[in-house]
Chains A and B, each alone.
Chain A
Amino acid sequence: MASKVIHAIYIDDDILIEAVKEVRNAHYHIGEIYTPFPVHGLDKAMGLAPTRIAITSFMYGIVGLAVSVVMMNYIMISDWPMDIGGKPSFSYIQNMPAFVPIMFELTVFFAAHLMVITFYLRSKLWPFKKAENPDLRTTDDHFLMEVEVANHDVEKLTKFLYDTGASEINLIEKED
């Protein structure tokens, strides 16, 4: 079934933020907003939930730390406890200072890389992905707000968006 959306194009991020607030106050539903650069405060104005990616990163870091500890404990202490230059390999804690650089680096490595991959997965980004760009100008200097028409009156919605400062308003039939 085809659904109708309105693409309202703005040319200034301040006007955009104000428009978002007005649209939300009027209880219209914003589908997406496309901007050429991060607009500070846009997520707050849209009422988006805060990201949890930092929490995932913390957990990945703990995984990395655990991997490094288990790996070096197995290799250096349990499997083949050699005397290398007089370093005490009787227990993990005795030789720990020598392992700290690796523990640190693996923690950072896991935290950083797995967080980035999580970001790609959650935002569905990959090399051959087809770009989802409703209007080419939004990567340059225009801001586009997609408002769902649903069962609202198109005329009234258009008028409303025009009053919020939109410089161009298009009605789009979207194929699902």
Chain B
Amino acid sequence: MYTLPNKLKLFAFIFMVLGAIGMIIGFMNAPSSKEEVKELLANHNSHETVIATDSNTDVAAHEDDAHYEHVLHQMKNRPWSALYVSAFFFFMIALGVLAFYAIQYASQAGWSPVLFRVMEGITGYLLPGSVIMFLLLVLSAFHVNHIFHWMNAELFDPTSDKYDALIAGKSTWLNETSFLVRAAIYLTGWNLYRFFSRKYSLKLDETNDAHWFKKNFKLSAGFLVFFIVTESMMSWDWIMGFDPHWFSTLFGWYVFSGMIVCAITVIAMVTVYLKSQGYLEYVNDSHIHDLAKYMFGFSIFWTYLWFSQFMLIWYANIPEEVTYFVSRIEDYNLPFFGMVAMNFIFPILLLMNSDFKRINWFVILSGIVILAGHYIDIFVMVMPATVGKSWFIGIPEIGALLFFFGLFVYVVFNTLTKAPLIAKGSPFMEESKHFHY
């Protein structure tokens, strides 16, 4: 049995408290009126703002006003988006681990059963993560914040100035009720699988009866079908929904590839950590090697999808599609291309060598870069539509990241204490203990 070290608990709580303070500061610093925005902009970049000087005519004054209102909305969105990006980032790690876990069961993998409890520990974050995600979506749907542009009812009203025929045409999909119902269905489905697979896995340990393994096998196969459909729809709803004028067909896969590579990275990191603390006696460097191979392979898979999406749109250059990348390249140049370097060039060079994949600190080092890269990936997916040019990785973003990191660490390691770290009932356990590559 694993016991939660007090140091780790303290570590997690410090992160949560620091993060919560950061988020509160972020919410308090968000401007509430156009006047505040004017002041902020005048202070921050006095060299840049010259639009206001020549505003003698009404038109210019009106444009000027509209500009400040626009910036005000962006700045008000910033703490919410920061919260959303971090909440989704950690939620998707737990979800990705759940998918990976289901794949291990459904494919009857012989190497991974020694890691089942680690994976179950990480998916322990799924339930709290789901609750937070759902709350955030509910808050958006009830107009507490305005990060989802399409939730503005005026867009659907033909008599309004703001009427947007393109968005109104999508109203059968993009309306708050069905949005929340769909979210509830996805989250319930995923959490039910997590609940039952964990239950059967513990039953398997208790009874040593292969009946529970078979149940888990069938459940996992069914879950994977459900998952790939709902994951795709989730990515349209929760991520692509930020840019309601834009669509991409491989978007669901793209989000999935980022999710799975983060998930495997976190499994590897938690495994290395637990192993270094003297737990997991049957985990050897071949298991680490396998996980690192997956990190390497899925990093390339992610890059493949990133590039396929980017290159097809860049090549055809159709105005309705390409604005997505224009705004990212112009306003988010460094994060947009920097994350490709972090998520592709770095892992491909570090994890290509077979010997390096067995070295713990190498895996941890590449893992940190991969996770940071995929945080930026989510950041670049969400932020351009919500805060636009007013982005910065400052107190609200780092605060939210620290808070969810602390929560994630606490929940994951607390779940690990709930069951023995070796899933001894698994029929593939012996094979896994002697796994050698």
Cβ A97 vs Cβ B310 within 8 A = yes
Cβ B352 vs Cβ A86 within 8 A = no
Chain A positions within 8 Å of B310 at CB level: 97
Chain B positions within 8 Å of A58 at CB level: 352
State A37–B125 Cα separation when bound (angstroms).
48
Interface residues of A, count at CB 8 A: 6
State A97–B307 Cα separation when bound (angstroms).
8
Cβ B315 vs Cβ A86 within 8 A = no
Cβ B317 vs Cβ A86 within 8 A = yes
Nearest CB in chain A to that of B317: its residue: A86
| Number of A-B contacts defined by CB within 8 Å | 12
Cβ A98 vs Cβ B307 within 8 A = no
Interface presence of A100 (CB below 8 A): yes
Chain A positions within 8 Å of B354 at CB level: 54
Q: Encode A82-100 as 1/0 by CB contact (under 8 A) with B.
A: 0000100000000001101
Kindly provide the distance from the CB of A104 to the nearest chain B CB, expressed in whole angstroms: 9
Nearest CB in chain A to that of B314: its residue: A97
Chain B positions within 8 Å of A86 at CB level: 317
Cβ B311 vs Cβ A97 within 8 A = yes
Chain B positions within 8 Å of A98 at CB level: 311, 315
Counting chain B residues whose Cβ lies within 8 A of the other chain, the interface size class is: under 10
Chain A positions within 8 Å of B352 at CB level: 58
Q: Encode B308-321 as 1/0 by CB contact (under 8 A) with A.
A: 00110011010000
A38-64 residues at the B interface, CB under 8 angstroms: 54, 58
State A54–B310 Cα separation when bound (angstroms).
31
State A100–B308 Cα separation when bound (angstroms).
10
Cβ B315 vs Cβ A100 within 8 A = no
Nearest CB in chain B to that of A101: its residue: B311
State A150–B430 Cα separation when bound (angstroms).
46
Kindly provide the distance from the CB of B408 to the nearest chain A CB, expressed in whole angstroms: 35
Nearest CB in chain A to that of B354: its residue: A54
Cβ A100 vs Cβ B311 within 8 A = yes
Kindly provide the distance from the CB of A93 to the nearest chain B CB, expressed in whole angstroms: 11
Q: Encode B336-354 as 1/0 by CB contact (under 8 A) with A.
A: 0000000000000000101
Nearest CB in chain B to that of A97: its residue: B311
Nearest CB in chain B to that of A86: its residue: B317
Chain B positions within 8 Å of A54 at CB level: 354
Nearest CB in chain B to that of A54: its residue: B354
Nearest CB in chain A to that of B313: its residue: A97
A7-64 residues at the B interface, CB under 8 angstroms: 54, 58
Chain A positions within 8 Å of B317 at CB level: 86
B74-90 residues at the A interface, CB under 8 angstroms: none
Chain B positions within 8 Å of A100 at CB level: 307, 311
Q: Encode A54-76 as 1/0 by CB contact (under 8 A) with B.
A: 10001000000000000000000
State A98–B314 Cα separation when bound (angstroms).
9
Kindly provide the distance from the CB of A21 to the nearest chain B CB, expressed in whole angstroms: 18
B290-312 residues at the A interface, CB under 8 angstroms: 307, 310-311
Q: Encode B347-386 as 1/0 by CB contact (under 8 A) with A.
A: 0000010100000000000000000000000000000000
Chain A positions within 8 Å of B314 at CB level: 97
Kindly provide the distance from the CB of A126 to the nearest chain B CB, expressed in whole angstroms: 30
Kindly provide the distance from the CB of B118 to the nearest chain A CB, expressed in whole angstroms: 29
Chain A positions within 8 Å of B311 at CB level: 97-98, 100
Nearest CB in chain A to that of B304: its residue: A104
Chain B positions within 8 Å of A97 at CB level: 307, 310-311, 314-315
State A108–B317 Cα separation when bound (angstroms).
28
State A86–B319 Cα separation when bound (angstroms).
14
B34-60 residues at the A interface, CB under 8 angstroms: none
Kindly provide the distance from the CB of B293 to the nearest chain A CB, expressed in whole angstroms: 14
Q: Encode A128-170 as 1/0 by CB contact (under 8 A) with B.
A: 0000000000000000000000000000000000000000000
Kindly provide the distance from the CB of B345 to the nearest chain A CB, expressed in whole angstroms: 12
Kindly provide the distance from the CB of B261 to the nearest chain A CB, expressed in whole angstroms: 19
State A86–B314 Cα separation when bound (angstroms).
12
Add 10 more A-B contacts to A54-B354, A97-B315 (CB < 8 A).
Answer: A58-B352, A86-B317, A97-B307, A97-B310, A97-B311, A97-B314, A98-B311, A98-B315, A100-B307, A100-B311
6 contacts across the A-B interface (CB closer than 8 A): A54-B354, A86-B317, A97-B310, A97-B315, A98-B311, A98-B315
Instruction: Spell out A's residues near B (CB within 8 Å).
Output: 54, 58, 86, 97-98, 100
**Across the A-B interface, the 4 shortest Cβ-Cβ residue pairs:** A97-B311, A97-B314, A98-B315, A100-B307
